[in-house]
């Protein structure tokens, strides 16, 4: 069950981050409220995953790493951001770090 909460936390964070540009510096009410609600839901779900026994380091690594990877993907696919070798390398390093932390935490 803790992985379901972690997945929901990641989804909320990705949704909120995707909305940041549309808030126009938090000057637009509805996108701003949706963005803040997404972050609030994300942190709530993250705490639920932690309360169910997930280690903080592992939860945060997966949350931040998968969130970063998804945001880069959304940026490239939907926001017309360029996919560069540096972005690919950065995402690969993030994924490698998350995998390493998960392997270290499993013992």
Q: What pTM did the predictor assign?
A: 0.89
Written as one string, the DSSP assignment of 55-68 is -HHHHHHHHHHHHH
What is the pLDDT, as a whole number, of residue 101? 84
Residues contacting residue 81 through CB under 8 Å, at least 6 positions apart: 75
Mean pLDDT by runs of 10 across the 107 residues of the chain is 97 96 97 98 97 93 93 94 96 92 73
* Residue (of 55, 68, 41) closest to 3 by Cα position: 55
**Structural domain boundaries of the chain?**
2-105
What is the pLDDT, as a whole number, of residue 1? 95
Indicate the helix (H) or strand (E) that contains 101. Answer: helix 85-105
């Amino acid at each position: 069950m803790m992985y379901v909460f972690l997945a929901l936390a990641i989804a909320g964070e990705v949704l909120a981050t995707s909305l940041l540009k549309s808030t126009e510096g938090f000057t637009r009410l509805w996108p701003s409220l949706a963005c803040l609600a997404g972050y609030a839901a994300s942190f709530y779900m993250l705490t639920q995953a932690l309360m169910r026994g997930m280690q903080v380091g592992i939860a945060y690594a997966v949350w931040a790493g998968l969130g970063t990877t998804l945001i880069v993907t959304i940026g490239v696919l939907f926001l017309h951001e360029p996919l560069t070798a540096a972005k690919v390398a950065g995402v690969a390093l993030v994924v490698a770090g998350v995998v390493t932390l998960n392997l270290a935490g499993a013992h």
